[in-house]
Amino acid sequence: MAPHLDLLGSVVTDMARTLDFYRRLGLPVPPGAESEAHVEITLPNGLRLAWDTAEMVRGFHPNWTAPTGSPRAALAFRCADPAEVDRYWAELTEAGHHGELPPWDAFWGQRYAVLHDPDGNGVDLFAAGRRLSGAVSRGRRAADQPPSNARGGTPARSQTSRVRCAWSA
């Protein structure tokens, strides 16, 4: 029998800010968890999410060091509709969380947005949308491109984003 994916964990620098971010996405984070070194929730689909402080991790892995650079993984949240993508984007960025790519209508037929949680982990929001006319699997028109990032003018996320798995709450 193959192993069963049961838990996704993340090491956090500010538990309160991290839990606020995920509460705003509607996750069932228990009240008062901000002061804990380990917080774990179970989503309706059975998948568990856990957050640990760096101090907690160093308690059993003394040589652990925080990764640097761009996120290597992202959680992708399926929203009910394109308006919900826009609403969550607005709520989270207005609360001071980093918006990497504002909502856009992606060539693969989804409304899509990319945020970072307080520790820089990628958090994608998406919903079924309309497939843009003229989109083909091997390329995209200029109008189908994700918005340019603030630093450069080139898309910040590659075409491979469209194959991400969705972990819905």
- Predicted local distance difference test score (pLDDT) of residue 138: 41
| 3-class state of residue 120 by DSSP | coil
Q: Is pLDDT at 140 greater than 70 in this prediction?
A: no
Q: For 80-131, write each residue's pLDDT tens digit.
A: 999 999 999 999 999 999 999 999 999 999 999 999 999 999 999 999 986 5
Protein fold of 1-66: 2,3-Dihydroxybiphenyl 1,2-Dioxygenase; domain 1 (3.10.180)
Could you say which of 3.30.465.10, 3.50.50.60, 3.40.50.300, 3.10.180.10 is the CATH number of the domain covering 68-130? 3.10.180.10
Q: For 21-63, write each residue's pLDDT tens digit.
A: 999 999 999 999 999 999 999 999 999 999 999 999 999 999 9
Specify the long-range contacts of residues 98-105, CB closer than 8 Å, at least 24 apart.
Answer: 100/149, 100/156, 100/157, 101/146, 101/147, 101/149, 101/156, 101/157, 102/147, 104/145, 104/146, 104/147, 105/129, 105/130, 105/132, 105/144
- Predicted local distance difference test score (pLDDT) of residue 130: 66
Question: What are the φ/ψ torsions at residue 52 (nearest 5 degrees)?
Answer: -125, 145
Sheet of 110-116, strand order:
74-78, 122-128, 110-116, 99-105
Strand partners, 72: none
* pTM for this model (two decimals): 0.73
Whether the domain at 1-66 and the domain at 68-130 fall into the same CATH topology: yes
